[in-house]
């Protein structure tokens, strides 16, 4: 593809040798002598890059730049100037130029600038691809040899970083990476089947931090500090989504990242109740039966008592400490919390649940438009970034960045792109979730699921409705044999949670300290 370049300079005839040089290199260069003509062309056709003279008669370069960015905010612009005055460069850079050059310029200087801007992503992708391919065998060996939960965190981090680095790269190579990700989740599922029941034992020595450990391990030590502490749970956030949020927040905070494992099922009623109570579901149901009700299969109804569970946790671990708790579900909730965020500085501990990512996951399942906008993991990650950039949550964090506070951000579980169906058999009272089930006499293909016949081995409550549990492995989702094809097509390629994959279980927990 030939790149289209617009060059605006009142002395454009003197630059004719430069233009001929670029045309011989395969670029299409359109010359104009003033800002008005440049803007007129930009309204009519697409360009890949603009060279813009700073000192043109009439509409000067900086004025042209302002109008240009209104028309094409993402169009790269290189400012060319005779002046080395600092304020001119600051004005230009503040107006979002991609680069600037000082006259006189030579053809090779121009060519290098073009390549740096237009070929930056291609060169970065090629470099990443070379490194990934050199490390492919080593990473595969790590996957097959992994026998420790720390090793699985390291593997997941590597695969996620490669996924982000190569998201706009060669499709064939991306498929190799996706195949390796699938291979890793297959082995990870086997690892969970072998180790998870041991993690649940009271005498388990070397186990990862799990959902019930989150508050005591990562939050309560900060409550000894003489600063307000903000604990934020972003429902259903994956590690890759956190990384794009982090890239925005690095400007405002010093960020340290750790990891913990979600309990099974990786679903809100279990994982998030475990976080706020500091207890496993079996113990919540036993100690606080009024706060645990499995008669209703509605996820939101099973999390109505998080504030009470948090209160009970603090009464055990930090007697006398009270928490402000907010569940942020709607646009009105977001605005209300944003408007009053400084009021929370008067409290030593405030906890928030932000529901947008989970809402986006469920909305994508039901919307053909959202599936088209976000057809794969990379696009879905980009969609969550777009939300974050315009969210009240970002505004809240920017406000807190100017205060002397501690902020801990985490999630209750992640999600996985469900691409393969597996048949499940259960009675009419079996729960309806697609990545986990509880009921009586459950059956499923052993390659696609973990069957738990003894819930207490997984620290899960056993009731008349929940005699057995099933957790989906890899990218499987459960479909009943009745109306099989209808539900197979309805739920294929949706993001789901509840099962045992790295994306659902290995979760970031981060400590933000304002740079101030």
Residue ranges making up the domain that contains 314:
211-415+504-514
Which residues, 6 or more positions from 87, have their beta carbon under 8 angstroms from its beta carbon?
none
Which residues, 6 or more positions from 16, have their beta carbon under 8 angstroms from its beta carbon?
none
Q: Tell me the C-alpha distance between 52 and 326, whole Å.
A: 50
Q: Tell me the C-alpha distance between 269 and 262, whole Å.
A: 12
Which residue, 302, 306, 307, 353, is CA-closest to 330?
Answer: 353
Mean of pLDDT values over 51-71: 88
Which domain CATH number covers 13?
Answer: 3.40.50.2300
Asked if residue 69 has pLDDT above 90, the reply is: no
Which residues, 6 or more positions from 447, have their beta carbon under 8 angstroms from its beta carbon?
422, 473
Which residues, 6 or more positions from 385, have their beta carbon under 8 angstroms from its beta carbon?
241, 244, 245, 248
Q: Tell me the C-alpha distance between 406 and 36, whole Å.
A: 51
Asked if 487 and 515 count as a contact pair (C-beta separation under 8 A), the reply is no
Query: Would you state the pLDDT for residue 91?
Result: 55
Asked if 471 and 450 count as a contact pair (C-beta separation under 8 A), the reply is yes
Are 70 and 51 found together in one domain?
yes
- Give the CA distances from residue 23 to residues 3, 101, 434, 514, in Å, rounded to whole numbers and listed in that order: 10, 20, 57, 50
Residue 156 lies in a domain: yes
Asked if 156 and 185 count as a contact pair (C-beta separation under 8 A), the reply is no
Residue with tokens 């900086």: 62
Query: Would you state the pLDDT for residue 61?
Result: 87
Which residue, 417, 149, 407, is CA-closest to 259?
Answer: 149
Beta bridge pairs of residue 52: 8, 79
Asked if residue 103 has pLDDT above 80, the reply is: yes
**Greater model confidence, 372 or 197:** 197
CA atoms within 13 A on the CB side of 56: 27
Q: Tell me the C-alpha distance between 203 and 243, whole Å.
A: 35
Asked if 341 and 394 count as a contact pair (C-beta separation under 8 A), the reply is no
- Domain end call among 199, 221, 253: 199
Mean of pLDDT values over 72-76: 82
Asked if residue 87 has pLDDT above 70, the reply is: no
Residue 81 lies in a domain: yes
Residue 274 lies in a domain: yes
- Domain end call among 149, 167, 199: 199
Residue 206 lies in a domain: no
Beta bridge pairs of residue 513: 254
Beta bridge pairs of residue 51: 7, 78
Q: Average pLDDT over the chain, rounded to whole?
A: 90
Q: Tell me the C-alpha distance between 475 and 492, whole Å.
A: 10
Query: Would you state the pLDDT for residue 369?
Result: 83
pLDDT band at residue 241 under the 50/70/90 scheme: very high
Q: Where are the alpha helices (DSSP H) in 326-367?
A: 331-339, 356-366
pLDDT band at residue 496 under the 50/70/90 scheme: very high
How do strand 468-472 and strand 449-452 relate by DSSP bridges? antiparallel
Are 262 and 394 found together in one domain?
yes
Asked if 60 and 54 count as a contact pair (C-beta separation under 8 A), the reply is yes
Are 365 and 435 found together in one domain?
no
Q: Tell me the C-alpha distance between 197 and 372, whole Å.
A: 40
- Highest average pLDDT, of 63-67, 150-154, 295-299, 477-481, comes from 150-154
Are 343 and 472 found together in one domain?
no
Residue 11 lies in a domain: yes
Q: Which residues of 61-100 are buried (b: 16+ CB within 10 A; e: fewer)?
A: bbebbeebeeebeebbbbbbbeeeeeebbebbeebebbbb
Are 383 and 336 found together in one domain?
yes
Are 226 and 373 found together in one domain?
yes
Residue 49 lies in a domain: yes
Question: What SS3 class is residue 265?
Answer: coil
Query: Would you state the pLDDT for residue 141?
Result: 96
Are 186 and 256 found together in one domain?
no
Q: Tell me the C-alpha distance between 322 and 308, whole Å.
A: 11
Q: Where are the alpha helices (DSSP H) in 83-148?
A: 86-94, 107-118, 120-145
Query: Would you state the pLDDT for residue 129?
Result: 83
Mean of pLDDT values over 329-357: 93
Which pLDDT tens digit goes with each residue over 125-165? 777 888 889 999 999 999 999 999 999 999 999 999 999 88
Asked if residue 378 has pLDDT above 80, the reply is: yes
Mean of pLDDT values over 335-361: 93
Residue 205 lies in a domain: no
Are 166 and 45 found together in one domain?
no
Residue with tokens 């099933």: 470
Query: Would you state the pLDDT for residue 89?
Result: 59
**Greater model confidence, 71 or 300:** 71
Helix or strand (DSSP H, E) at 266: none
Query: Would you state the pLDDT for residue 189?
Result: 97
Are 281 and 181 found together in one domain?
no
Q: Tell me the C-alpha distance between 371 and 138, whole Å.
A: 35
How do strand 406-410 and strand 229-234 relate by DSSP bridges? parallel
Residue 54 lies in a domain: yes
Are 429 and 482 found together in one domain?
yes
Question: What SS3 class is residue 364?
Answer: helix
Query: Would you state the pLDDT for residue 301?
Result: 58
Are 366 and 342 found together in one domain?
yes
- Domain end call among 169, 199, 229: 199
**Overall domain count for the chain:** 4
Are 440 and 473 found together in one domain?
yes
């Amino acid at each position: 593809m030939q790149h289209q370049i617009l060059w605006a300079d009142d002395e454009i005839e003197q630059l004719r040798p430069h233009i001929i040089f670029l045309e011989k290199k395969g670029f299409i260069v359109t010359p104009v002598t003033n800002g008005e003509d440049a803007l007129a062309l930009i309204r009519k056709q697409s360009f890949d890059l603009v060279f813009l003279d700073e000192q043109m008669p009439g509409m000067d370069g900086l004025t042209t730049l302002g109008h240009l960015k209104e028309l094409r905010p993402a169009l790269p612009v290189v400012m060319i100037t005779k002046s080395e005055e600092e304020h001119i460069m600051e004005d230009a850079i503040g107006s979002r130029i991609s680069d600037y050059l000082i006259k006189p310029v030579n053809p090779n200087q121009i060519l290098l600038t073009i390549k740096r801007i237009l070929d930056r992503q291609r060169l970065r992708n090629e470099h990443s691809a070379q490194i990934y391919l050199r490390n492919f065998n080593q990473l595969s060996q790590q996957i097959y040899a992994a026998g420790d939960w720390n090793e699985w965190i390291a593997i997941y981090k590597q695969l996620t970083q490669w996924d982000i680095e190569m998201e706009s790269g060669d499709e064939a190579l991306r498929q190799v990476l996706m195949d390796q990700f699938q291979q890793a989740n297959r082995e990870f599922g086997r690892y969970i089947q072998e180790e998870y029941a041991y993690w649940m034992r009271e005498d388990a020595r070397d186990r990862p931090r799990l959902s019930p450990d989150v508050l005591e391990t990562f939050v309560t030590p900060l409550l000894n500090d003489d600063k307000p502490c903000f604990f934020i749970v972003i429902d259903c956030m994956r590690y890759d989504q956190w990384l794009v949020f982090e890239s925005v927040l690095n400007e405002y905070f010093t960020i340290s990242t750790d990891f913990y494992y979600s309990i099974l099922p990786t679903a809100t009623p279990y994982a998030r109740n475990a976080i706020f109570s500091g207890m496993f579901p079996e113990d919540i149901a036993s100690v606080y039966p009024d706060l645990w009700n499995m008669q209703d299969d509605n996820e939101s109804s099973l999390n109505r008592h998080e504030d009470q569970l948090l209160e009970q946790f603090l009464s055990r671990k930090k007697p006398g400490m009270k928490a402000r708790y907010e569940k942020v579900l709607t646009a009105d909730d977001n605005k209300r919390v944003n408007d009053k965020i400084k009021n929370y500085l008067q409290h030593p501990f405030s906890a928030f649940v932000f529901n947008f990512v989970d809402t986006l996951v469920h909305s994508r399942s039901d919307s053909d438009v959202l599936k088209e906008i976000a057809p794969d993991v990379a696009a879905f990650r980009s969609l969550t970034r777009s939300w974050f950039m315009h969210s009240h949550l970002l505004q809240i964090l920017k406000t807190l960045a100017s205060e002397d506070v501690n902020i801990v951000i985490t999630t209750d579980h992640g999600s996985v792109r469900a691409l393969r169906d597996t048949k499940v058999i259960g009675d009419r009272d079996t729960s309806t979730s697609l990545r986990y089930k509880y009921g009586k006499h459950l059956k499923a293909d052993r390659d696609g699921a973990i069957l738990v016949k003894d819930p207490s081995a997984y620290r899960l409550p056993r009731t008349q409705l929940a005699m057995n549990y099933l957790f989906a492995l890899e990218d499987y989702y459960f479909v009943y044999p009745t109306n099989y094809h209808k539900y197979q097509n309805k739920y294929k390629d949706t993001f789901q949670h509840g099962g045992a994959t790295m994306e659902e279980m290995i979760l970031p927990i981060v400590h933000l300290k304002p740079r101030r």
